[in-house]
Structure 1
């Protein structure tokens, strides 16, 4: 299959990638360089398995050079007026929006998601620059007399310092900007390790920030296939004062253990197992529309994706039929094929994992009710057909594991006590969704769910203006909103003698 961008995308994708100079993809001090030892690794197209580009394979020496640059830039950037930091972020927002088609095509190529999904991601990702441009100038502090008298108390917030950011492949633009924007707004400098599957998007964003006027050394990017050694080097460096990680819970646990050795300030956005609850009086058509977004955005490869569906017995037949029909009608294919709604999964390993979960559920008694068609020729791509399962046993592995694919397992519930027990029977607590015409019941149910975010009668919870994060094994801290900038600040108070 030839890779060409549709006329709607309006960009020379090959030329855009070449202009990024990926072989000089270690981005330090505002310029690209080859990795130490000149090593590279391949970035591949999940739709075909073919190589898109060879990118610099950063090593420990590169990681430490990135910290050198970030540490040198820190005093100047921290002292830069908040208004100047704000204006740089605002320019980055405008540049990203102007580059929507190029960035969306790039994301689709290295990640596999549909162009529609990729365009939505670019707009969402850019919004973090705009939101935190506004937050950068909303400085807050406290001043007042102490209760005992004789002193005045001044409370202020300072940048935590050099921040190490580790981002995943599923939203390569949004996960980068969701961390970079608040860090820069707070006055921190950063070193970023993007996922090995999608490093080109991170490189493009770094160049946009430089074009926006962010000083050299403030943002540094080290693509690598040696993730653990690079991140360990950062966590062992006393100049690195913050780690912000988005990824799996098992990796998050490892990083927290490493961070504990130096008591590094840590934010963790980890795995999810989101329940999608449909009440007995729900507007089924609205629930189906929400389910299509909550389950199938990015092909189900999202930590907030609806992972398990709990549908009341009164509406389970209607919901299954309507939702299943919508899933079966989806067009699956490469991002650049006309009409594609669902692209490939990220790798052959991902396909095998999803298939194993479905096979296990069927063996345990579930049945496949609906399934979309795969393209006639996949050209070596990593495709899995969107699938709906019914009668999934409560103890099935597919209900306990983050699927990260386009599969919707449906279980039936009968009473409220049973529902709450089912939805909370998981170590995860990131997102959840509740549909009901009875808003009081929906809100009461949402409050009983152990999750950091709940969508009530809507299939999307992500918004730069809201605190994104989970409870239990789904992480620590919040991204977005005012909380997002606080994650990159330390609180300091001054006690002033007033006698």
Structure 2
């Protein structure tokens, strides 16, 4: 078999990473036509501009050109949104009318499904995500979670009675679950639609009201949602509000506002710590899905020529901009040199470039600031002894766009900056281990604990390692841990609480114990 044929086969395999697929004709038609985004926000049931009239630019990370504008929310706009959400929760039956909540959510689902291809195209333009990787988490899989939450709205056991226990200072006891109140949902730019769905849909299903604040780098997916909600659903005014400030200091007002009952945030650990500190001043609840430094453990019995190239290639999905993506690969020391060559081969074959090209897997980074940070961390790694085997810089073939080459670092100290800090880019650190105990130790040597990956033909052996990793989610042998019924979240500095599943639904509920005595019984 020729090297060229092997390269072509590898490229074909890489194009199927994490459920990637050829985009539909409908998606490509929108891509070719271009996307015109919604400029307005949703506040108290109306599509509105900023109270100041100000707008900010939505920039295409592939061309570095302005795609269009969006309303720049002010402090007054934030206040109006919170006021509306508070009123809707306190003065309507939204929190107790389970059937109506399900009805509104299913209307939302239908509207989103009708616009799924537009949402895909919007993600390609404003986030730079390769179009072939948008068919799942960036569109249909995220949207398809809504019926799960609509069903949860009506089927959840909101009140249950415990068995009689006369000795427990009361004869009868009920446990009641009530909607938390007003939710400040703050979402990132890397998986904009998916993270919005894991907050907005379950919060609404639970009976909470919401103020959604998307990242300013990717506002259009949220303003499109705002348009659909306003024009195609029966959500009462104030139940769901969507605001788009460009200034994160304005967004912090949500965490400080005493009318907000829970701050539900996905993003960096540094910002999560700041929001947690702000919310602590008023003892407000927080739910935080933060950073990660996931280890990808290749056990000694793995046929690495088949597994390592694709396992390493996962880091190019979303241009490495994913908190759960495996940025540390651990291989047995006897296979280290072989793994190095396999990853080098895979990264040099990686289809990357314009995300509008249906053959591309890796697009640009989100901003020049993000690209500069990644390149700076690569330099820091080299200064601490790491070696760049391939990549490590800006690709020479592009004269615009915030691109970073798929990068492999070897001879990485497990305690060095690149092995410990979340890089959030297509940079893989390859680390050797002596035995399985050593691999587990290295994987757990992190302040993070979000996700992990284990590979072995011996499934029980892989599961044994998975159980020892101090992370909230583990994928074994190429699986993935995404779904509306699967709790998502991490240990240690990777966050607090969970998204999705019954556990994630519970984040939007308060718990009340009711004890009933027999004072008036004969």
The TM-score by the shorter chain falls in which range? over 0.9
SS of corresponding position for 2:147: helix
Structure 1 residues 31-56: Cα deviation after superposition (integer angstroms, max 9, x where no partner)? 22121211111110000111111111
Cα distance in 1 for partners of 2:93, 2:452 equals 39
Matched, 1:226 2:247: yes
SS of corresponding position for 1:217: coil
Cα distance in 2 for partners of 1:147, 1:440 equals 47
Note the C-alpha offset of 1:6.
9.3
Q: Does the 8 Å CA contact 1:281/1:436 hold for their aligned counterparts?
A: yes
Q: Does the 8 Å CA contact 2:364/2:404 hold for their aligned counterparts?
A: yes
Matched, 1:421 2:441: yes
Matched, 1:246 2:266: yes
SS of corresponding position for 1:70: helix
- In structure 2, the gaps of 5 or more residues are 1-22
Cα distance in 2 for partners of 1:135, 1:448 equals 32
Cα distance in 1 for partners of 2:274, 2:267 equals 12
Note the C-alpha offset of 1:215.
2.3
SS of corresponding position for 1:339: coil
Match of 1:102 in 2: 118
Q: Does the 8 Å CA contact 1:329/1:372 hold for their aligned counterparts?
A: no
Match of 2:54 in 1: 39
Note the C-alpha offset of 1:332.
1.5
Q: Does the 8 Å CA contact 2:471/2:491 hold for their aligned counterparts?
A: yes
Cα distance in 2 for partners of 1:372, 1:322 equals 17
Q: Which moved more, 1:79-88 or 1:412-421?
A: 79-88
**Change over 3 Å in CA distance of 1:27–1:139 after alignment to 2:** same
Name the TM-score, length of structure 1 as normaliser.
0.92
Structure 1 residues 409-429: Cα deviation after superposition (integer angstroms, max 9, x where no partner)? 101111233222211111111
SS of corresponding position for 1:148: coil
Q: Does the 8 Å CA contact 1:128/1:480 hold for their aligned counterparts?
A: no
Match of 1:143 in 2: 161
Alignment of 1:187-266 (within 5 A): 187-210=207-230, 211-232=232-253, 234-266=254-286
Cα distance in 2 for partners of 1:461, 1:327 equals 25
Q: Does the 8 Å CA contact 2:31/2:356 hold for their aligned counterparts?
A: no
**Change over 3 Å in CA distance of 1:372–1:133 after alignment to 2:** farther
Note the C-alpha offset of 1:206.
2.3
Cα distance in 2 for partners of 1:181, 1:285 equals 42
Q: Which moved more, 1:417-426 or 1:166-175?
A: 417-426
Cα distance in 2 for partners of 1:185, 1:379 equals 47
Q: Does the 8 Å CA contact 1:332/1:372 hold for their aligned counterparts?
A: no
Cα distance in 1 for partners of 2:92, 2:34 equals 32
Alignment of 1:294-305 (within 5 A): 294-305=314-325
How many residues align? The count is 491
**Change over 3 Å in CA distance of 1:77–1:52 after alignment to 2:** farther
Match of 1:269 in 2: 289
SS of corresponding position for 1:94: helix
Q: Does the 8 Å CA contact 1:331/1:373 hold for their aligned counterparts?
A: no
Cα distance in 2 for partners of 1:457, 1:436 equals 7
**Change over 3 Å in CA distance of 1:428–1:364 after alignment to 2:** same
Note the C-alpha offset of 1:192.
1.1
Note the C-alpha offset of 1:209.
3.1
SS of corresponding position for 2:498: coil
Cα distance in 2 for partners of 1:416, 1:383 equals 36
Aligned counterpart in structure 2 of residue 455 of structure 1, from 464, 467, 475: 475
For the aligned residue pairs, the C-alpha RMSD in angstroms reads: 2.3
Matched, 1:60 2:75: yes
Aligned counterpart in structure 2 of residue 87 of structure 1, from 97, 103, 108: 103
Match of 1:119 in 2: 135
Note the C-alpha offset of 1:62.
0.2
Cα distance in 2 for partners of 1:421, 1:169 equals 32
Cα distance in 1 for partners of 2:63, 2:166 equals 68
Match of 1:314 in 2: 334
Structure 1 residues 317-366: Cα deviation after superposition (integer angstroms, max 9, x where no partner)? 44333333222211221211352211000111211121122223234333
Q: Which moved more, 1:453-462 or 1:264-273?
A: 453-462
Note the C-alpha offset of 1:83.
2.5
Name the TM-score, length of structure 2 as normaliser.
0.88
